[in-house]
Structure 1
Amino acid sequence: MYALVDCNNFYASCERVFNPSLEGQPVAILSNNDGCVISMSDEAKALQLPFGAPIFKWEGFCKANNIKVLSSNYPLYGDMSSRVMRILEHYTPDVEVYSIDEAFLQFKGFKDCDFKDYGSQIRTRILKWTGIPTCVGVAPTKALSKVANKIARKFPNETKGVYVIDSDASRIKALKWMKLEDVWGIGRGLQKRLKAKGCKTAYDFTQLPDDWVRKTFSITAWKLKKDLEGVSKIKLDEPTRKRAIATTRSFDYTYDDINYIKERISTFASSCAEKLRKQGSSCHMIIVTLSSNRHKKDLEQHRGSTIVSFPYPTDSSLLISRAAVNAVKSIYKSGIKYKRAGVIVTGLVPTDNYQLDMFNKEDPKHKPLMSAIDTINRKYKSDKIKIGNQDLERTWKMRQERLSPRYTTNINDIIVVK
């Protein structure tokens, strides 16, 4: 059996854990640089505030309806997500973190288990230990657990937040209820083609011939169909090494100051290097990008990128940052107001297994230095140790005018009980 555990309105729920005055109130969370609405509470959804709404257009609507609008507090959300995922590991060792607020669980060898009760235990513990409300869907396959979770979320009073598909009758009933466009894994292109064949529900999709689905669409669509039929074909994802790692960000405002841009590029490069070390990889090359704000047609536009190759693979923040800063200096054009930049590390190889070069090698002091920096930063859960050309106060510079405190990751923001 599989389970999908999904945190309800995760960003808004994280804010409510530490600010109970938000309970029962409409809450909306904004994207980077306070741009668009990316998450909201059920109360805000009931007011028909659209997802993706640009806040500068909907500011009046939010004020008129007393919607509390907050900036994204990613350190808080990331820490709360980690706490939820660690709790899930108490119930089974087979956990696939699907997103910041979702995880698949596989139950191997759970004979004669009451999954309704087990799901309720999971919900209760997560709520008690973190304050985050969840819904749990349990079924014989991953795709069906998604369906079960949607039912648990849609009918909280009837299901008590847990729904189990454990028979063919309950599977068919659920698939006939599920609209085609709501099925996990069916995108707009596939949806359009299936509707042309008369499919309106998930059940209609499962009634199509196997050979036709496989031949007309893809092996992925066929696996999804079998999963919905109760035949497990979509397995838990195994952790794999990434082939490339990117850190790209929009600036809070547009900038033509080369020193500011160099500092941002150094921070992005250091972030990529840290991710390299975390997965045990080194890179052969980096790609540095820089672009102006394409939405401001009245300003002169410029976009550029360059590739830098290393004579040997490296995961050193010092080398990668230095190369990235030199690269962005070659891209930069004076007088252009830049809005976005990025660093991509690619040509990845395992750090403990790559072809050595007889004449070129990394400074042997870099490995222990990077290890010490990572250890300190992990211990204090923030970038306490940085390269000298980085801003010592902030890692990401974004417009966050409505930011709540980082209650769990910053000692200065811990709640004081009086």
Structure 2
Amino acid sequence: MTRAARRRRRMLPLALASSILLSGCWDRVEIDQRGFVVGVGIDEPAKQEEKQGSGNQSRAKQTFKVVYQIVMPAGLSTNKSDGGESGGKAFFNMTVEENTMATSMAKLSQRLSRAPFFEHLKVIVISESIARKPRKFAETIDFFLRESQMRRSTRVMITRDRAVNILNTHPPDQKLPSQYLEELSDNTKESSRILPESRIGDVHEFLLKRKSFAIQAVTNGNPNYSTLTEAAIFNGTSNQLVGFLTSQETAGLNFLQGKVKGGQIKFSFDDRLGVFSLEKATKSLECKFGPDHLPSFTYHIKVDGAVDEVLHAPDTLKEPSIKKMEEAVRKEIVKIMEMTINKLQHEYNCDVMGLREYLFHNHYYWFKQHENEWEEQGNLFATRPVQLDVKVSVRRSGNINLTED
């Protein structure tokens, strides 16, 4: 073998390795060729026309009205030298009607000059009318769970209003409504009435385990803001929306789940109005079995905080005043928790409080014997006694304005 032939033979593996490495970008799409979808709203058409027929045929006729929120990059720029105009529109909404989510995306592709790209999708808003239908909620998000571009951290919200109205909420200080909604869902440290963010990955796990669950519900205040202080309750068996918790009941659920990160509690004592600022809240759950071999539960809640405001207050540094304020706050927390428990047990029969999960982890053999009776058949959840043991500590009471002795 000649020297040249041996040299060519040695170079062959290097050439093959280089070709493999260079082929890694074969499917790359330039950023200016992507249509960035940052929000999706899913409604029923105003007039849903379905012909009589079998159940499968009726479901096949049902269509979705899907609004896609798409970024206009030039509108995001605040530098005129970049080719954008300061304050220009940063998004546009495009509406598509189809009977599946996949075909609606295909139809969107036929209208956009850039290929739809979902990797930066921030929020999916689904209307109440769709979520209340058995299994329809799961079918609606199925496409997003299968889509390879999707992030499992994308937020999911339910609305009593039209989803398109929510995606048209445009605060003056935010260029993208979808980003506004995403940031709004994170304000749990500022309010105990906001449920922790509902990520599509978590919702997927609830659906697979057939567990009842709660996710954030958003209402449309006006074009400048939306409100996120309700919780949408889903039945784990039928995978459908059964109702909503009010803002107070949502705060009660946060206490029951041990997810309070902050916020305020209004209270009154001796005909005076005050505001208690939550700084720390811990939860533990205790379970006991009676002679009937059925469980009863006790929630132990410990809350620390400060008095932010008291109207016409006595000396709030005195021990009697502190004890009265602690008792007043305790009663208020117990009241909102009892409201939540009553609605979940007796109106919705949906355990989103964590009792099922506690039994699964701590009393597994009992739970497996009674799993089907917990919510679905025997309604055990609705009949189980739940006691509340709440302790409140006022760490800082302040004493700015002494108006009374």
TM category (shorter chain) comes to under 0.3
Q: Which has the higher strand share?
A: 2
TM-score (norm 1): 0.23
Structure label with greater radius of gyration = 2
Q: 1 or 2 for the larger relative contact order (CA 8 Å, sep ≥6)? A: 1
TM-score (norm 2): 0.23
